[in-house]
Structure 1
Amino acid sequence: MEKKLVVKMIKNCFKQYYEADSLPVDEKDLEALVNRILQTKDEEPNADLYEVVNDMVYEFLTG
């Protein structure tokens, strides 16, 4: 799975919660979030990527 796609999906997901150009994560946190999403997707290949990204972003914001 391509990291660029996941990063784009994360950024789009954050737009639901923040202004368009504002990201509440730095590069280090973004990389960790991408890695967690890719790992979850590898562990659960039948999981929908869109749902995994949304769940992880929500968890990041609330956790």
Structure 2
Amino acid sequence: MLIKKMILNCLKQYYSTESMPVGEKDLEGLIGRVLHLKEEDPTANLHEIVNDTVYEFLTG
């Protein structure tokens, strides 16, 4: 899935793949959040949604 790849690539900016703080359950939650935000605003930039969602996850 494209969104999953985008999230994983975004996480790589912060962590090496061996130490990523995201389990499968968290990843599914992030994907769901991105899809929900995109549905709310179909004109929103998907890359911005992914980056904002990952940032919120890491800092929240």
Secondary structure of residue in 2 paired with 1:39: helix
For 2:19 and 2:2, how far apart are their aligned partners in 1? 19
Secondary structure of residue in 1 paired with 2:15: coil
Equivalenced residue count is 60
- The alpha carbon displacement at 1:35 in A equals 0.3
Pick from 25, 33, 43 the counterpart of residue 28 of structure 1.
25
Secondary structure of residue in 2 paired with 1:7: helix
Aligned residues: CA RMSD: 0.9
Which structure has the highest helix share of the two? Answer: 2
Q: C-alpha deviations, 1:25-58, integer Å up to 9, x for none?
A: 1111100110000010000001000000000000
Seq. identity, % = 62
TM-score, normalised by the number of residues in structure 1: 0.89
For 1:22 and 1:12, how far apart are their aligned partners in 2? 14
